[in-house]
Amino acid sequence: MDLWQAALLGVVEGLTEFLPVSSTGHLKIVEGLLGLDVADDSVVGFTAVIQMGAIAAVLVYFARDILRLATAWLRGLVSRERRTDPDYSFAWWIVWATVPVVVVGLLAKSYIDGPLASLWVVAASLVAGSAFMWVADRVGSHTRPESEITLVDAVVVGTAQVLALLFPGFSRSGATISTGLIRGLDRVAATRLSFFLSIPALTGAGLYELKDAVGGGVGTGPVVVGTVVSFMVAYATIAWLLRYVSRHSFDLFVFYRLGVAVLVVGLLASGALG
C-alpha cells in the first residue's frame, strides 16, 4: 500500500466512522477501487487499526466526560459509598453493552472476514440500514435526554453493534443511533451514547488486528499515516455531527446511503468493481 492510498483511506475512515453511513462499507468500496484485496488479512487489519485514529478523536473530544466517568468508576471500585454515583453505573453499562459484540466478533470472525466481506453484502446492508434508520427516526419519541439513559438502553444499543459487525455497510453508528431512537432517546443523546460505545469496541478491534496490519503486507508507514489522517478528519466530523443532529433528522444520510448502494451495484454489475 502506498502512502497516498493510506492517507486517502484515512480520510474515508475519519469521515465515515461516526456518520451513520458505514465506514467499513466505504473503506471496502474505496479499497476495491484502488485495486486492494479487501479479504487480505493485512488490508483487513489496516482497516481495523486506522479506526484507532477515530477513537483517539473521540477520546480527545470527550476528554472531560471520559475523565469524569473513569474517575467515578475507579472511585467506585474502592469505595462502596461511591457506587451510588450515576457516572459509576454508566461506566459499567458501557462495559456490559460491549460484551455481545466482542463475543460475536470472536465466534464469527471467519465469516466476517470471508463471505460477509463481499461488496454485494455491503450494498444490501446499505439499503437495509437505511430502512432501519428511516423507520427509527420516525417511530422514536425523541423525548429522553442523556440523563435518562438506563442499563437496558445501553445494553440494547450496544448489542445493535452486532448488525454492523456481521453486515458491513449497515453502519455501527447507524445501528446504535437508530436503536437509541427506537428506545425513545433524543437524537443528541442517541448520538453521544453511540460515541461512548465506540470506544471499547473499536479499540479492541484495532488492537486485535494490529499484528496483521503491521506484520503483513501493508507496513508500518501506511498504518501510521492512515491513523493520523483518520484522527484529524474524525475530530472535525464529530464536532459537525453533534451540531447537525441537534437541528436535523437523519434523512440526509438515508438518501446518501441509498445512492451509494445503487452506485456499488452498478459498479459490480459492470465489472468496474470486483
Range name among 3-12, 183-192, 217-226 with the lowest pLDDT average = 217-226
User: Closest Cα partner for 25 from 139, 216, 169?
Assistant: 169
What pLDDT score does 213 carry? Answer: 63
Residue 80's pLDDT band (cuts 50, 70, 90): confident
DSSP 31-92: HHHTT--TTSHHHHHHHHHTHHHHHHHHHHHTHHHHHHHHHHHHHHHH-GGGGG-HHHHHHH
Cβ neighbors of 207 (< 8 A, separation 6 or more) are 52
Q: Which three cell numbers stand for residue 74?
A: 475507579
Mean pLDDT of 181-201: 93
Of 38 and 262, the one with more pLDDT: 262
How confident is the prediction for the chain on average, in pLDDT?
90
Of 274 and 180, the one with more pLDDT: 180
CA–CA distance, 189 with 48 (Å, rounded to integer): 26
Check pLDDT > 90 for residue 110: no
Give me the percent of the chain exceeding a pLDDT of 70. Answer: 96
pTM to 2 decimal places: 0.88
pLDDT digits (tens, 9 = 90+) for 214-256: 666 678 899 899 999 999 999 999 999 999 999 999 999 999 9
What pLDDT score does 68 carry? Answer: 94
CA–CA distance, 131 with 128 (Å, rounded to integer): 5
Helix (H, G, I), strand (E, B) or coil at 29: helix
Q: Which three cell numbers stand for residue 129?
A: 440500514
Q: Which three cell numbers stand for residue 174?
A: 447507524
CA–CA distance, 32 with 16 (Å, rounded to integer): 17
Range name among 89-93, 110-114, 118-122 with the lowest pLDDT average = 110-114
pLDDT digits (tens, 9 = 90+) for 249-261: 999 999 999 999 9
CA–CA distance, 271 with 61 (Å, rounded to integer): 41
Check pLDDT > 70 for residue 212: no
